[in-house]
A and B are shown apart, each in its own frame.
Chain A
Amino acid sequence: IAGITQAPTSQILAAGRRMTLRCTQDMRHNAMYWYRQDLGLGLRLIHYSNTAGTTGKGEVPDGYSVSRANTDDFPLTLASAVPSQTSVYFCASSDSMGGTDTQYFGPGTRLTVL
């Protein structure tokens, strides 16, 4: 069982380019999340999905979009990348958003926007 996979591992991107970060989980979890992690700051939620077909905005959604066409996949798209989006991006999943359900994280994507 792979858990959660993310692709690419790292990417250098020119400003203004479109980029999609991929996330796939094989645990049949209902909820999925995208976070960004920047030095000196806590993980910040970008978007989340409670279940397939639904998405919601987190703390820092501007400049990002997501879709949840099925249970396993939760891609994050940067429509027109800007340097402030340089960060490490983590995808996570959990069985639900409540109770004792813990979030399991993918290995992360290190994105640099020049």
Chain B
Amino acid sequence: GQNIDQPTEMTATEGAIVQINCTYQTSGFNGLFWYQQHAGEAPTFLSYNVLDGLEEKGRFSSFLSRSKGYSYLLLKELQMKDSASYLCAVRDSNYQLIWGAGTKLIIKP
């Protein structure tokens, strides 16, 4: 079966750095996505990785290791508005997205 694993919940302090991990087992791989979802709202796109390595975009970075079936999302200089759920999704061999259950990130002052 196909499986995406990520921690259910994480807590971090405003101004700090947090790393959210995602491991996957899917039938084929055609890219990995990270989305942010605030409570009661729609998911919004953060990053896309298809090759191994780090992609940096402002305060957010995403890393991929295809051989390990592993990715992480790194958030720097945390702000209160970063409190949200972070969703990891893998595009499989049918070009459909398989989604993890999401990691709820709680930012404390």
Query: Using Cβ atoms and an 8 Å threshold, which residues of chain A touch B89?
Result: 42-43
CB-CB under 8 A for A42 and B96, given A102-B33, A105-B43: no
What secondary structure prevails in chain A residues at the interface with B? Answer: loop
Within the complex, what minimum Cβ distance (angstroms) separates A89 from chain B?
Answer: 11
Chain A interface category by residue count: 20 to 34
Hey, which chain B residues are within 8 Å of A107, CB to CB? 41-42
- Alpha-carbon distance between A58 and B96 when the two chains are bound, in angstroms: 8
Bound CA span A107–B37, Å: 11
Contact B45 A104 (CB under 8 A): yes
B95-A44 in contact (CB<8A): no
Are A42 and B42 within 8 A (Cβ)? Answer: no
List 5 A-B pairs, minimum CB-CB distance, nearest first. A42-B99, A105-B42, A43-B99, A97-B95, A102-B45
Query: A-side interface residues toward B, CB under 8 Å?
Result: 40-45, 48, 58-59, 90, 97-98, 100, 102-108
A-B contact list, 18 entries, CB within 8 Å? A42-B87, A42-B99, A42-B100, A42-B101, A43-B97, A43-B99, A44-B99, A97-B95, A97-B96, A98-B30, A98-B91, A100-B31, A100-B50, A102-B48, A103-B45, A103-B97, A104-B45, A108-B42
Beyond A59-B96, A100-B50, A108-B41, 18 extra complex contacts between A and B, CB < 8 Å: A42-B4, A42-B100, A42-B101, A42-B102, A43-B43, A43-B87, A43-B89, A43-B99, A45-B97, A90-B42, A98-B30, A100-B31, A102-B33, A103-B45, A103-B97, A104-B45, A106-B42, A107-B42
